[in-house]
Structure 1
Amino acid sequence: MATFEREEAIAAGAHALDRVAAGDGELLVVVAPAGNGKSHLLGEFRALARRRRFGRLNALADEAEQRVPWGVVRQLIERPLLRRGIDRTPALEGPVGRALAALDDLAATEEALLELWWALAELSADRPMLITIDDLQWADAPSLAFLRYLLPRLAELPVLLVLGARPPAPGAAHRTLVTTPVGREVPISPLSAASVGALIASVVDRPVHPDNEHAIHEATGGVPLLVVHVAEELRSSGLDVADPTVAAAFTTLGAEGVARAVVSRLVPDARLVAAAAALLGSDATPARLSAVAAIGAEAVTVAVGSAAAANVLTQADGVVRFAHPVLREAVLSGLRPGERQELHARAARSLAAAGAPAERLVPHLLATPPGVLPDAAQRLYAAGTRLRAEGDPGAAVEALKRSLAEGAEDDGVRLALARALVDAGRPDEGRAQLRRLADVPDQRVRAERLAEAASATFAASGALPAIAELRALLDGEVVRDARARLVLEARLAAFCALHPPEAVRADPHVAALADRLEGRDRDERTILGIAAQRAFATARSAPATAALARRALAHGQWWPRDHDEAVAYGGAFHALANSEEATAARRIGERAGPPEGARRSLLTELVRAAIGSVVAWRQGDLREAEATARALLDTCVLAPDTPFVQGVRSAGTRYLALALIAAGRPDAAQEALEDHDRASRDWPAGVPHHRVGHARVAVALACGDPARAQRAAVALGEAERAAGSDSPVIPWRAYLALAHVAAGRADEALAVSGTHLARAQRWGAVSDVGAALRVHARVDLDRRVAHLEEAVRVLEGADARLELAGALVDLGEALRVERRRRDARGPLVRGAELAGTLGAVPLVERARAALGAIGDRPPADRATAYDELTTSELRVARMAVLGRTNREIAHELFVTPKTVENHLGRVYAKLGVGGRSELVGAITRA
């Protein structure tokens, strides 16, 4: 068909393909009412991609399959494997095969998203890729979830994603995808009257009278599909479009009338087969059409041919489909309720007899009265379970309610329904169901269901009502068994931790409860983890905090199973590492891990990287801190946007920026903070988020801006107090004192620094005491040397080796100022050596300058280009030397191929080599 008034849209697609060919992913969105030519435009994009030798994947969502999990995604990744002459073995053994396997694993939704991403990375590895998805408004929920996951990561792949959809209604599931600022909209409008005339003329091969142009434009609304059908009708009927009287035949039709007219002219068997195809979607094979339409196979063949000749149906790959959804809707609108129910019943029986997955039967069973299948209740329960697990709780609710209507008596169905209601955004209904199901003799089961009900209250009304509900349950002794009560106590502690005033109120109770727990199960560990976190926040005492954290972590036997549990785990680990137990924390982290045989997951990689970054920063190893923080942030790119991921991304940014500042790279630290600000623009406020302010203050001081540093320090302190926290490990008072010093406010600096030192001494972690003494020496100049000598003494053997190096250099400089040159040399030499091993370039330079000032020869700088490589860069370089491809390295390290490419680029620059061929020699020589 000729293309009219789409030149700008086609040009937009061509420009996007050219940009993607340069390596950056992009999104185009084509939103238009049905029949306006978006499907044709997507076809034009595919033709452009074919000429540019792009790979091409395409999918068409179908209303009949909206409740089939992963239907759209399966079209994208399975269809290439079905082409004739293709050896499917390599693909099935690689990322594509792993993705397909993950789709069948009910417990692997997060892993499925990651594996699908890797499948696209693999499919687009050798050439750029065009992916087109049409009629997105009918896509299934899990496929939409994957697209939402893909969009913020699209720039990492050489992929042009084009989404075609009808204008979304408010609240439509696909609305956020077609209105996202990430993409560019390609507008298309109905055809003008002139183009309607030109399109008809191209079909009938005769000029069109202006009156007919306007009449047909009015009748069809300028919808290209309907214009073509009118043109075909004109040609077959022999009407002369040059005759102005022909217009009278169209003035009263309207766009919907044209579609109905096209369908009404089908022969009876063709209309019946079309109706069956409208209900079956991709299940519309000739054999199934025969069963649903209740006509013979030969009659189906004739009927499909007749409908195809009328441009209503098409057939490809053994499946019969509609030429356009508008025609499908016209067929369905012409069915009487009884006809439609009977067709759905036949479809359900046919699919069940063929062993189709339970979820494919759901739309048919829901459209019929109960009793169509003898085992409908069990099938609907299975379908509801899968639909919820795959991310479509709304469909799960429908299936599970119908399962009960079909006679299901099992409480498991009612429990599944309650959970689906909560997930589907109907928490009040789910809560009521859960409370009813909690009326059981088993105390543990009762507690678990009541805790779930409280979570539903949290989802519906927020933390305070949920906290009140749990307190009422505990006070009323609805659950009497001590072990079972811990289920409610753990949930209460978790909710209180999210609401600072309630966290402060709950502190005495949680602390008393934690003191008698050993960390034997998830509930005890959750309580202990939150208690450790709060003990750290309130600076209860480092030894007491460490004891709680050790029990929470079960000495390395606990490993979080999900993101919610990871929050408590991360809090316990953070508390332990910052309680002068960084070495013990590292050992526990090395010993802990998921159960033997468990599949690698993003959660595992995130937890390991988070552990590494907090320990490395606490111990002052700047290269390791930068490497582990970057690894954490790189892995976050592939992770779903949960509160845990948001928290570790904020923490990773803080440690990365602090490490970069200490290494003498404040500009790079500022870039890291700006990246975080862009990513976190829509996140809710939280403790990890506001603690990024720790790095903001440090950047301001490093850049010589005391006014900005003071504002940032005050903001950090206010946020900490609002969160019920005042730990010296978050040293906002120390930074505020330094800002006062820089601004010449000595008295204010001394007062603030003294308060910070007192809190550090009460906390009792020698790393923090030594760090506070270093700051106090900057403001109490009369006793500067004494404070620094004490700081060095305190920091000997402490976790914070960077603070020890700084204290040594500070002491050497102070002694030099007092003209005690001989005494100054030892601390300066030792401080320079220690700072060099840690990567603290500014400290090394200060020490060397001070040694030069006292007439001493500075120690030789033994650093090489190889030493400049971070741990992550070195790991990537070694894997590259072994011949691993960027994709293989990325998959092994749970990062994107573009991240590997960036690492290698920095390696080449630091080592002065031109590429992989020279890298082997450079690494070997080093």
Structure 2
Amino acid sequence: MVRLFRRTPTARGRRGIERQGRIIDERIGGALAAGRGRSRSDGGAGEALGDEGRAATTLVGRRVELAQILDAVDAGRSGPRAMLLLGEAGTGKTALLAAAARHGREVGSLVLSARGCAAEAEQPFAVLHQLLVPLLPKAGDLPGHQRQALEAAFGVVPATPGHDRKSLRVAVLNLLAGVSRHRPVLLIVDDVRHVDRDSLDVLGFAMRRLTTEAVTVLLAARGHTAPEVPDLPVLSLAPLSRREAARLLDAQPEPPAGRARIDLLEQAAGNPLAIIELCRAAREAPTGGGPPQTLRIQEMFADRSRALPAATQRLILYAAASPDQENLQTIMAAAGAGADLGMWAPAEDAGLIGISGGRVGFRHPLVRTAAYDGAPAHLRQRAHTDLAAVLGAEPERRAWHLAAARTGTDESVAAALEDTAELAGRRGGFFATARALERSAECSPDPRDRARRYAKAIRAVQNAGDPSWARELYGKVAALTRDPGPLGVAACGAGTALSLFGRQREAFEALTRHPPADGTTSLSLAAAAGAVAYQSGLPEMRRSLPGLLDRTERKDGDTPDADSSYAGLTEAGAADAVRAVVLAEADPVTHAPPLLRRLGRRRKPARPPTGLAETARLHAIAAIAWLADETDLCVTTFRQAYDLLRVHGSIGVGARSFVPMASALVDSGRWTEADELLEEAATLAAVHQWSHVQVDVAALRATLRGLRGRTGGEPPDDPVWTAVGLEENRATRAHLLRAAGTAAMAAGDLDEAFRHFRRLFDEDGVPAHYFLSPRSVVDLALVAQRTGRREEAAPVLAAVRDAVGDRPTSRMTLLLHHAAALAGAPRDAEHHFRLAAVNPAGDQWPVARAQARLHYAQWLRRKRRPLEARPLLSAALETFVRLGAEGLADEARGELRASGVAASPSRADPLSGLTAQQQQIVRLAARGLRNREIAEQLMLSPRTVSSHLYNVYPKLGVSSRHQLRDLFEDR
């Protein structure tokens, strides 16, 4: 629900609307016509590559840096500009310089480039010659002694005993200044650390004096400390974010999936070159197994590594063989090196490793790969055996090294790894648990044990939120056994994976195909099927859910399967909550409100449970609250669940709940928190290739941008909008249509907005998605009123009234009154407006409440009752300004002026500038909780709570808890 009045969209806004509308139309039309839709791959949508091929991929995640560099190149037309790029090898310095050179040529600059070389670092003026040799024909314009000094330095003429460096410096300065008077000059020097000192001396002299000429200088150097060059603005290239690293990986040919994908991203640590080369190595690995072909990677560091003493190379191998970078003492003991740290010195001097805090760290991610894969197989095996021998007191790490040293199966090693997985699971380390269980299965000689351990690994992978890996493991279980127990657990992981890939029909079939062995496994399958049914929006799936729940009832003598994904559901009523959410997903109108009330009446245990059982219970209650339109309870409960997950470092369990949570935050006016959650969800969706979540997040961001009244942003990239088949992902379709309609309304194109909102319902007005479509009924009614299409909206309003039943939720009651006031019978408009704008229940949804007041006030003003409209407009304006809904605030101000009131600026939301965690702390403090109580509730330390309050008080303009309470009285 966004702005009401019609205005002419800007040219850029109009282009964005048209493009976004075309994307939506083509995708929805194609999906519905074909009756199906598939992602181009099982992963997310990667960034399309341009004509530059591989070079373009290195610029993924460098948009901000590239913009700064190109700005410097453009600014060189009006004055000198200089910049120093710093970053480790492979971070994209050379690619950015190449992009700057291309841009410089495109805008008409003369581009002069050079690169330092270690072999020429001792040769005087080597780089200066590379850089300026194209300008030698211009040297004839210089005074004789300067020309002679320049030609002598370049070896064109013999050097004379009397020539001095000052003449050379001045000659270069005058040469560049003279050329720049006719054409801007761009000087680019890469690898500055290998530039000879004579060249640096002359270039530094010139840079310090080129204060008015159109000369831009771009330098690049390895590392993060500036070399000996004049003081320049520094642009440091940090590792790519997890999201951008995933995008770069997806841009490579045949990127790995599953565990290999996660391992590669972790090993690369955000280094673009490492991502590209490790992907290449994985792609070229022998099909029959064995280590990847890493000869290219080894050659990158060959010169430095071959020069090391044999003892140092041995130490580096032992360090590389340690997956968690064992402490220094362990590595040296395993290698038999004693306590002499001097053995590491050659490697430190070569820039290969660094020692700090009793640990060994590799300077570049590829150094570790080169050191390990470059060693003969028998030396790698010996390293793991020696490391296992000194780790007798640490069974977790010892088991890994024993497994790495084995060439076949070994039940003792498999059992040790399974025990290791149990320890990791109790700590909540789901990725570590999954890795250990998968390796345990690989070491298992008995196929039944192998299948059982793979199934347990799927459970951990499902908790970690990685669908590609779960699908891989499912294939292994299905090939090993027909036992319904492991197959049921595996099917749960496979179904969840297919759903996150956007393949809902396949997911539902996978979840309902295998007869489960016990009630808890059945419940895990039913819970996953309920989520699939909600995402798909397909009636036939929802009708099947009650039957699936009938299979979850435990029979006498049944014992929970320890390997079930919900083995702990009997704890603290978690199973009841999960059963309830499946019923609510099947029929929210009938089941969600009463089930939520029943769960709320349950007595809380004296000691609240923790772990996955409590996480499952909280997620279920929050989902039911979402379906029952209890938005505040939904947000609060999801927050509690996420806090538990973050303690365990695995928010991936919440993959399917991010979109409902973000939607609830948007609807309840918590937009800053929504921004943070959507950013986190976008990162996880890119890393783990949650296809439909990527699309949903993009759509919600576009919706939020429209609600804020911003029309300048471009719609999401085409691949993101078209990554899933919309006919079987009706929830995603609803999010996309709402986003497109909201963007059109923000730009003032109400005809376009009507077209999008109307497609949330079929020809007879029946909601396309049984839950999400009715929540946009006011949007449709609003644009129908403004475009003279009341009659076209009438069947939709009638169908929505039928869909929500005789006892709709408070939210749907308010929305239906609001819609009826806008597009219903004119004689009943005031009655419906009053019910929509006055009911206190509407305070949960401040945007909708403020819009109802705005629309009611507009109706009153048209009826020549401005005095009654003014308080409604003032209240609406305060809400819009507080939330940051700029377009709606402007509209409310205009209405106030028209009603005879000079609208004064309203105060913005004081919490909007705080992080989500700071907002939680402030809210609890305002309720009177002490620091220790807040810390216990949020699982923080009291010192952290105190620090946050100390920092936020000045931002809020308060100095005590009492003032915090006053701050919240009006909220």
TM-score by length of 2: 0.50
Equivalent position amino acid for 2:808 in 1: G
Shift in CA distance, 849/505, structure 1 to aligned 2, threshold 3 Å: same
2 CA distance for matches of 1:490 and 1:362?
A: 34
2 CA distance for matches of 1:874 and 1:275?
A: 47
1 CA distance for matches of 2:538 and 2:645?
A: 41
Q: Are residue 509 (structure 1) and residue 619 (structure 2) matched?
A: no
Q: Are residue 690 (structure 1) and residue 734 (structure 2) matched?
A: yes
**Equivalent of 2:808 in 764, 767, 782:** 764
Shift of 1:379: 4.1
Shift of 1:757: 5.9
2 CA distance for matches of 1:770 and 1:565?
A: 30
Instruction: Give the percent of matched residue pairs that are identical in Structure 1 and Structure 2.
Output: 13
Equivalent position amino acid for 2:744 in 1: A
2 CA distance for matches of 1:765 and 1:743?
A: 29
Q: Are residue 351 (structure 1) and residue 390 (structure 2) matched?
A: yes
Shift in CA distance, 714/316, structure 1 to aligned 2, threshold 3 Å: closer
Shift in CA distance, 679/872, structure 1 to aligned 2, threshold 3 Å: farther
2 CA distance for matches of 1:744 and 1:367?
A: 76
**Equivalent of 2:684 in 602, 618, 641:** 641
Q: Are residue 714 (structure 1) and residue 758 (structure 2) matched?
A: yes
**Equivalent of 1:400 in 432, 440, 444:** 440
Equivalent position amino acid for 2:397 in 1: E
Shift in CA distance, 168/688, structure 1 to aligned 2, threshold 3 Å: same
Q: Are residue 828 (structure 1) and residue 872 (structure 2) matched?
A: no
CA contact (8 A) 1:777 1:788 kept: yes
CA contact (8 A) 1:470 1:488 kept: yes
2 CA distance for matches of 1:797 and 1:469?
A: 46
Q: Are residue 574 (structure 1) and residue 626 (structure 2) matched?
A: yes
CA contact (8 A) 1:280 1:347 kept: no
Q: Are residue 700 (structure 1) and residue 744 (structure 2) matched?
A: yes
CA contact (8 A) 1:377 1:406 kept: no
Unaligned runs of 5+ in 2: 1-57, 73-81, 95-116, 119-189, 195-219, 246-255, 286-294, 462-467, 555-568, 881-887, 942-947, 958-963
Q: Are residue 499 (structure 1) and residue 536 (structure 2) matched?
A: yes
1 CA distance for matches of 2:908 and 2:361?
A: 60
**Number of the residue aligned with 2:908:** 868
1 CA distance for matches of 2:546 and 2:490?
A: 22
Shift of 1:700: 2.5
Shift in CA distance, 57/588, structure 1 to aligned 2, threshold 3 Å: closer
Q: Are residue 455 (structure 1) and residue 633 (structure 2) matched?
A: no
**Number of the residue aligned with 1:45:** 223
2 CA distance for matches of 1:323 and 1:848?
A: 63
Q: Are residue 29 (structure 1) and residue 68 (structure 2) matched?
A: no
CA contact (8 A) 1:757 1:773 kept: no
Unaligned runs of 5+ in 1: 1-8, 60-71, 74-112, 118-135, 152-160, 176-189, 191-219, 230-258, 439-445, 619-624, 853-857, 894-899, 912-919
**Number of the residue aligned with 2:45:** none
**Number of the residue aligned with 1:730:** 775
Shift of 1:54: 12
**Number of the residue aligned with 2:282:** 172
Equivalent position amino acid for 2:488 in 1: L
**Number of the residue aligned with 1:524:** 576
Number of corresponding residues: 673
Describe the superposition over 1:409-451 as per-residue Cα deviations: whole angstroms up to 9, x where unpaired.
Answer: 899856546668983753344433895665xxxxxxx5x8724
1:117-516 superposed matches below 5 A: 144-145=264-265, 163-164=273-274, 167-170=277-280, 172=282, 340=379, 343-344=382-383, 347-348=386-387, 350-352=389-391, 355=393, 358-359=396-397, 362-363=400-401, 365-368=403-406, 376=413, 378-382=415-419, 389=429, 391=431, 396=436, 399-401=439-441, 403-405=443-445, 416=456, 423=469, 426-432=472-478, 446=485, 450-456=488-494, 459=497, 463-464=504-505, 467-468=508-509, 470-471=511-512, 473=514, 479=517, 485-501=522-538, 504-506=541-543, 509=546
Shift in CA distance, 565/745, structure 1 to aligned 2, threshold 3 Å: same
CA contact (8 A) 1:275 1:331 kept: yes
CA contact (8 A) 1:344 1:365 kept: no
CA contact (8 A) 1:377 1:403 kept: yes
Equivalent position amino acid for 1:730 in 2: R
Equivalent position amino acid for 1:787 in 2: A
> Residue 90 of structure 2 aligns to a residue in which SS?
strand
**Number of the residue aligned with 1:547:** 594
2 CA distance for matches of 1:874 and 1:301?
A: 47
**Number of the residue aligned with 1:789:** 831
Shift in CA distance, 635/25, structure 1 to aligned 2, threshold 3 Å: farther
2 CA distance for matches of 1:275 and 1:588?
A: 48
1 CA distance for matches of 2:523 and 2:282?
A: 41
CA contact (8 A) 2:381 2:405 kept: no
Shift of 1:391: 3.5
Shift of 1:637: 2.8
CA contact (8 A) 1:497 1:530 kept: no
TM-score by length of 1: 0.52
**Number of the residue aligned with 2:879:** 838
Equivalent position amino acid for 1:455 in 2: G
Shift in CA distance, 456/654, structure 1 to aligned 2, threshold 3 Å: same
Shift in CA distance, 391/811, structure 1 to aligned 2, threshold 3 Å: closer
1 CA distance for matches of 2:266 and 2:344?
A: 35
Equivalent position amino acid for 1:764 in 2: P
Shift in CA distance, 600/673, structure 1 to aligned 2, threshold 3 Å: farther
- Higher relative contact order (CA closer than 8 Å, sequence separation 6+): 2
2 CA distance for matches of 1:844 and 1:322?
A: 59
2 CA distance for matches of 1:485 and 1:362?
A: 33
CA contact (8 A) 1:347 1:364 kept: no
Equivalent position amino acid for 1:172 in 2: A
Describe the superposition over 1:700-755 as per-residue Cα deviations: whole angstroms up to 9, x where unpaired.
Answer: 235431331133223433699796426664235x5445545544456435555555
Equivalent position amino acid for 2:390 in 1: L
CA contact (8 A) 1:576 1:585 kept: no
CA contact (8 A) 1:358 1:383 kept: yes
CA contact (8 A) 2:804 2:812 kept: yes
> Residue 704 of structure 1 aligns to a residue in which SS?
coil
Shift of 1:525: 1.9
Shift of 1:787: 2.8
Shift of 1:630: 1.7
Equivalent position amino acid for 2:749 in 1: D
